């Protein structure tokens, strides 16, 4: 066991580092979501890998008829957790956990939701606004672009109270328009 104060790696690097299709897909995700580097894609993959592992363990438990009550309890716990986080919909099952892809995880990041809500012009600007402390969730400043926003917190994303962006006449804010794909953008 290591020193408890030491940070540990929260991702795994690819086993085949020069695979062309993987590199192109990761590059596309980095550009589309305005990520800092591919390490953030690998973190998302590792996060989803943990959920998939739990789902596979559940399916292994299901084969044993004596543990049906344990299976139902663990299944309910996993599915409800993932619904609270926002990775799954209301009528999801264990198969939906196994079918999750990296973009589903990247869509739940604060940086992406700031852009989707129309608080920034681009994903890169959304990252900058979060990092510089202009974004708050329920009035509390959050400066981590990779913060996973729960479903209940999604509607509470706004500019921080002391930020100059609160003023609607701010020069940069007048240039910001909601993206075409954003829900409720009002653009027809």
Mean pLDDT of 39-66: 91
Q: What does the pLDDT look like over 159-181, one tens digit per residue?
A: 999 999 999 899 988 888 666 55
For 50-113, what is the HEC assignment? HHHHHHHHHHHHHCCHHHHHHHHHHHHHHHHHHHHHCCCCCCCCHHHHHCCCHHHHHCCEHHHH
Q: What does the pLDDT look like over 77-127, one tens digit per residue?
A: 999 999 999 999 999 999 999 999 999 999 999 999 999 999 999 999 999
Q: Domains, the chain, ranges and CATH?
A: 20-105 (no CATH), 109-175 (3.10.290.10)
As a 3-state breakdown, the chain gives helix, strand, coil percent values, each rounded to 5, of 55, 5, 40
Q: Please list the alpha-helical segments (H only) found in 122-176.
A: 123-131, 171-175
């Amino acid at each position: 066991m290591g020193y408890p104060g030491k940070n540990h790696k929260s991702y795994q690097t690819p086993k085949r580092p020069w695979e062309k299709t993987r590199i192109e897909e990761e590059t596309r995700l980095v550009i589309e979501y305005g990520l800092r580097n591919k390490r953030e894609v690998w973190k998302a993959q590792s996060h989803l890998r943990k959920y998939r592992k739990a789902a596979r363990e559940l399916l292994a438990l299901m084969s044993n008829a004596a543990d049906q009550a344990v299976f139902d309890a663990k299944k309910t716990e996993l599915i409800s957790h993932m619904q609270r986080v926002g990775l799954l919909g209301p009528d999801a099952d264990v198969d939906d956990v196994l079918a999750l892809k990296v973009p589903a995880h990247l869509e739940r990041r604060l940086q992406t939701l700031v852009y989707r809500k129309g608080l920034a012009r681009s994903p890169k600007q959304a990252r900058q606004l979060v990092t510089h402390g202009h974004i708050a969730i329920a009035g509390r400043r959050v400066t981590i672009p990779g913060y996973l926003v729960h479903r209940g917190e999604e509607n509470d994303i706004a500019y921080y109270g002391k930020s100059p962006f609160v003023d609607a006449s701010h020069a940069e804010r007048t240039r910001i328009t909601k993206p075409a794909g954003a829900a409720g953008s009002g653009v027809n």
